[in-house]
């Protein structure tokens, strides 16, 4: 259920993301662009339905995607930059928000926001967060979604650590992960190595 998306364009954009000298404006744009590619890849699993349309020459059958059946859920705050990319592909999707922060002593995720549209049990959910490190926050976010009825969830992130992938696989084996890179692991401060630093700080220029 883990898909590491290999693509020369993604690889080039990822190299720019990792570069510590990339400014915040460029960093935000790169996150959004990579999210577009990841959404395209995940879309291979999306279902369409047939309709009849009229071309300038004749009627024919065509397949369309029901964008309104999708719910994009950024995990705040860094997930906001990725959600913009997903919206470029699914502009009529709904958007929900999950706010979590990591306790500095226990390193456990603490919920501070859960805002969703009604009937999320009927939605195909695309949860987004640039970094999958320990998997604690991601797993907690998926717990919250499922506790409110969510059934079909895709999780998109840019860089993953093996520890985070293992956590999601153990707790949410039904959730498919799409990532641009699986890195070496975590350091003593639970940052992904080599990673790209703190994605939220680099997106919002708060470091």
All domains of the chain, ordered by start, with CATH?
2-46+69-204 (3.40.50.2020)
Other CB atoms within 10 Å distance of the CB of residue 35 = 30
Is the bond leading into 36 cis (omega within 30 degrees of zero)? no
Residues 161, 102 contacting (CB under 8 angstroms): no
Owner of token pair 């790209």 = 196
Other CB atoms within 10 Å distance of the CB of residue 108 = 12
pLDDT tier, 100 (very low <50, low <70, confident <90, very high otherwise): confident
Catalytic residue at 52?
A: no
Active-site choice (52, 198, 202, 206): 198
Look over the chain and give the mean of its residue pLDDT values, rounded to a whole number: 94
Catalytic residue at 129?
A: no
Catalytic residue at 106?
A: yes
pLDDT tier, 173 (very low <50, low <70, confident <90, very high otherwise): very high
Give the predicted TM-score (pTM) of the model. Answer: 0.92
Q: What is the DSSP letter of 200?
A: H
Other CB atoms within 10 Å distance of the CB of residue 179 = 24
Does an H or E element contain 154, and which?
A: strand 152-160
């Amino acid at each position: 259920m883990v898909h590491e998306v290999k693509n020369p364009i993604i690889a080039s954009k990822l190299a720019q993301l990792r570069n510590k000298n990339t400014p915040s404006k460029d960093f935000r744009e790169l996150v959004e662009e990579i999210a577009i590619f990841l959404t395209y890849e995940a879309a291979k699993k999306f279902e369409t339905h047939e309709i009849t349309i009229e071309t300038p020459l004749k009627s024919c059958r065509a397949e369309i995607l029901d964008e309104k059946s999708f719910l994009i859920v950024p995990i705040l705050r860094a997930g906001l930059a990725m959600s913009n990319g997903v919206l470029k592909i699914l502009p009529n999707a709904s958007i929900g928000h999950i706010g979590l922060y990591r306790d500095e002593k226990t390193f456990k995720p603490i919920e501070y926001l859960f805002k969703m549209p009604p009937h999320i049990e009927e939605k195909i959910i695309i949860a987004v967060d640039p970094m999958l490190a320990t998997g604690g926050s991601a797993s907690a976010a998926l717990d919250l979604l499922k506790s409110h009825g969510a059934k079909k969830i895709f999780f998109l992130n840019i860089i993953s650590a093996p520890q985070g992938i293992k956590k999601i696989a153990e707790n949410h084996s039904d959730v498919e992960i799409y990532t641009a890179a699986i890195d070496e692991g975590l350091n003593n401060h639970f940052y992904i190595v080599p990673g790209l630093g703190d994605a939220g700080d680099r997106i919002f220029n708060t470091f």
